[in-house]
Amino acid sequence: MDAIQAYLNGQWVDSRELRLPVSDLSIALGVAVSERLRTVHGKPFRQADHIRRLQRSLEIVGWDPPALAQAAATAIDQFVARNAPLMAPGDDWAISVLVTPGSSPDARQPTVCVDGFPLPFVRWARQFELGVDAVISPIRQVPAACWPPELKCRSRMHYYLADREAEQTVSGARPILLDTEGYVTESSTANVVVYDPYRGLMTPELSEVLPGVSQQMLFELADALGIPRVQQRLTPDQLAAAPEVFLTSTSISVLPVVRLEGEPIGTGAPGPVYRRLLRAWSDCVGLDLAAQAQQFALR
């Protein structure tokens, strides 16, 4: 494969040559904001939503939000154009955006980087049909008193530890992180959605979790299908008793959780509401998401 071209502070470089100095605060202190997009039919999916969320993160940390968000948006478009010859027909890529304050806390010379790669479908291709295991993690979500839930940042040691603990508990399982009061927040890099036959889709209060772009897509599909939805605090017991539970994020779109702590969710297989939502998502974007993942999983 020819070299992927990546953007770094106004320059285009071989992605294998991307470097940041150890003085960059993303390395020294773990200070960075980020976005992750995916393409659909080779085009960035819901790019405007991702850029709005990036700009909000930049507002929270105070690093010249309009200019840096615009620089990232322009670089995303250029990244796709420059690397289009490398994208196999029918394939799609992840696109990563990283913004750091550079080497000074006041971000006098911030760093903007845009990179990408073919989506690693092998990680979840079979899960569209078989579902996902999940476990309740002993690692808690970062409290809002530390940083706002709506800040999408790269300070993710808690996700790393939760993923490691989940893998040691059940191979391939995803962690469900709770807040300090014991209520459900998110999985690592994914929103959690519960289906209740009487109340429809149930999610944690959106003010208490990262507002997911793919979660919003799921809400829009549910509205179109006449599936009600509600925000409320959720307990692990409510997850365990639900007939269906989903994870939703940029790369995977939507996947069903079929076991929690080794016990089946519902029938222990992907349920009918999940299949309706996945079909509606695929119809909306004109792409069979499960078939695409299976096609490219073994490349």
Give me the pLDDT at residue 203, please.
97
**Do 265 and 144 share a structural domain?**
yes
Residue finishing a domain among 119, 154, 186 = 119
Full domain range(s) for residue 270 = 127-296
Q: In degrees rounded to 5, what are phi and psi of residue 184?
A: -65, 135
Could you say which of 86, 119, 152 is where a domain stops? 119
Residues 51 and 19 in one domain: yes
Give 298's pLDDT tier (boundaries 50, 70, 90).
Answer: confident
Same structural domain, 168 and 279: yes
pTM of the model: 0.95
Question: 115: domain CATH number?
Answer: 3.30.470.10
Number of independent structural domains in the chain: 2
**Pair of tokens at residue 128:** 């569209």
pLDDT at residue 148, as a whole number: 96
* 176, 137 Cβ separation under 8 angstroms: yes
E strands, the chain, are 5-8, 11-14, 33-40, 43-44, 93-100, 111-118, 132-136, 174-178, 184-187, 190-196, 200-203, 229-231, 244-249, 253-260, 263-264
Domain boundary among 98, 119, 140: 119
Residue pLDDT, tens place only, 96-143: 999 999 999 999 999 999 999 999 999 999 999 999 999 999 999 999
**Do 275 and 150 reside in the same domain of the chain?**
yes
Q: What is the pLDDT of residues 233-292, one digit of tens each?
A: 999 999 999 999 999 999 999 999 999 999 999 999 999 999 999 999 999 999 999 999
pLDDT for the residue 2: 84
pLDDT for 1 = 57
% pLDDT > 90, the chain: 99
Q: Are residues 290 and 250 in the same domain?
A: yes
Residues 265 and 137 in one domain: yes
- Same domain (yes/no): 215, 81: no
Residues 113 and 149 in one domain: no
135 and 260 in contact (C-beta within 8 Å)? yes
What CATH number should be reported for the domain holding residue 220?
3.20.10.10
Q: 140 and 243 share a domain?
A: yes
Q: What is the separation, in whole angstroms, between the first and last Cα of the chain?
A: 12
Please check whether residues 178 and 219 belong to one and the same domain.
Answer: yes
What mean pLDDT, rounded, does the chain reach?
96
> What distance in Å separates the CA atoms of residue 110 and residue 31, rounded to the nearest whole number?
11
The DSSP code for 104 is: S
Only one residue has tokens 């010249």, namely 64
Listing from the earlier edge strand, what are the strands of the sheet with 33-40?
A: 11-14, 5-8, 111-118, 93-100, 33-40, 43-44
Give yes or no: residues 140 and 50 share one domain.
no
Among 99, 61, 86, 120, which residue's Cα sits nearest to residue 5?
Answer: 86
For residue 113, what are the CA distances in angstroms to 58, 75, 156, 213?
14, 8, 18, 21
284 and 153 in a single domain? The answer is yes
